[in-house]
Structure 1
Amino acid sequence: MSLKKSIILIIIILLIDQISKVYVKTHFALHDSVEVLSWFKIYFIENEGMAWGTRISDILPFMSDRTAKTFLTLFRVFAIVGIGYWLYSATKKRSSRVLIIAVALIFAGAMGNIIDSVFYGIFFNDSIGQIATFLPEEGGYDTLLHGKVVDMLYFPMYKGYLPEWIPKYGGKFFTFFEPVFNIADMAISTGFIMLIVFNKRAFSNKD
């Protein structure tokens, strides 16, 4: 797979990701939801940290939330440079199609969430109790590098109380699948799953 085709794939994923995020951000207030199917909802939340809403300041308590957020965003920017180089190198070496597609998916997903983290704080005003405006006259809800990632895909396929016989968690209310995510997250997850499942096809000895 050529670098040109990889870039086209990245652009398509980025467009779908950003269009869906901008639509949700400008049509939903925070925590608004729409039921598409009984097991699928569009549910608007904002993620200030890493996967599943984890914050660096939860892991490194000596950091303030804002310092940790800046650190996380800068780390993502440096990481995307490394992933981009990996993609470029893989296409130049004519590595396997599986590897190139997987890395392109990871790159597109990471870039999609970086756009939120870097720019959404200045592009939009707050969504708490209101529908946000794109490029508001009074300014955005935060500064550069302090944006929140927009998530909206929610698949509560099962809700109920777990059987009492299950150790520790028996009798507790349980939702599967609880995390809310976005198109960028799906691209990253798909890329990683491809690298794991098709490991032998993705990596030759030289790779």
Structure 2
Amino acid sequence: MATNTKKASPGAKPVYKSSASLLPWFGLALIFVLLDQITKITVECTFAYAETLPITGFFNLIKVYNPGAAFSFLGDASGWQRYFFLAIALAAVGFCLYMMKKNASQRLFCFALALIMAGAIGNGIDRVIHGHVIDFLDFYWTGIGHFPAFNIADIAISVGAFLFVVDELRRVNKS
């Protein structure tokens, strides 16, 4: 269980105390935000827009901008989506902080939330500074096409979401 309860008077609500520190999760999130921002700054400074550097037969580095969300969802909107996705990122960070504090002793759960929070912060920083997200990882299959370009923040969000599901399935299987 994630929290310890302290008994109060009969009929009173229990008082919850966190049984673990959030500092490791903040550190993990900070590492991913820094990695995300350093890679984006490097790409921004060394590549021209849409410039491609082939790495393997299925992977390129490319500099592209995404004003939308995953798969360029709402990317062609008139500009309001910048603030909409920034608000979603801020809400996600707030929710992650709340859930991590409430469930601080659940390591896999907090690990997943720290990754999701880091990705939301990383892409949120881009939206504030540039008005769009910088993507640069381009995977493709010859004859089939390119997967939408993405970045380290997107990886953190995706891995975090996967671990979140794994944690929930693990919890369901225990009961």
Q: Scaled by the length of structure 2, what TM-score is found?
A: 0.80
Instruction: Supply the distance in 1 between the matched residues of 2:21 and 2:66 (Cα, whole angstroms).
Output: 34
8 Å contact 1:99–1:203 — kept in the other structure? no
Q: Provide the aligned C-alpha RMSD in A.
A: 2.3
Aligned to 1:159: 142
1:27 aligns with: 46
Asked whether 1:189 is paired with 2:162, we answer: no
Hey, what does 1:5 align to over in structure 2?
24
| Residue 56 of structure 1: how far off its partner (Å) | 7.3
**Identity of aligned pairs, percent?**
32
Q: C-alpha distance in 2, partners of 1:202/1:187?
A: 22
- 5+ residue gaps in structure 1? 59-64, 121-146, 161-173
Of 31, 37, 58, the residue aligned with 1:39 is 58
Judge conservation of contact 2:67–2:75 (CA < 8 Å) in 1: no
How far 1:78 moved relative to its partner? 2.5
Quick one: which amino acid aligns to residue 164 of structure 2? L
Q: Distance in 2 between matches of 1:180 and 1:151?
A: 6
Q: Distance in 2 between matches of 1:119 and 1:204?
A: 44
- For residue 203 of structure 1, report the CA deviation from its aligned partner: 6.9
* Match of residue 124 from structure 1: none
Which secondary structure state, in structure 2, belongs to the residue aligned with residue 187 of structure 1?
A: helix
Question: What secondary structure, in the 3-state scheme, does the structure 2 residue paired with 1:155 have?
Answer: strand
Q: Is the partner of 2:142 in helix, strand or coil?
A: strand
- Correspondence for 2:68: 49
Q: Distance in 2 between matches of 1:193 and 1:113?
A: 19
Structure 1 stretches of 4+ with a deviation exceeding 6 A read none
Match of 1:112 in 2: 122
Question: 2:172 & 2:111 partners in 1: Cα distance?
Answer: 13
How far did 1:202 drift?
A: 5.4
TM-score, normalised via structure 1 length: 0.68
User: 1:64-83 counterparts in 2 under 5 A?
Assistant: 65-83=78-96
**Aligned partners of 1:153 and 1:77: how far apart in 2?**
25
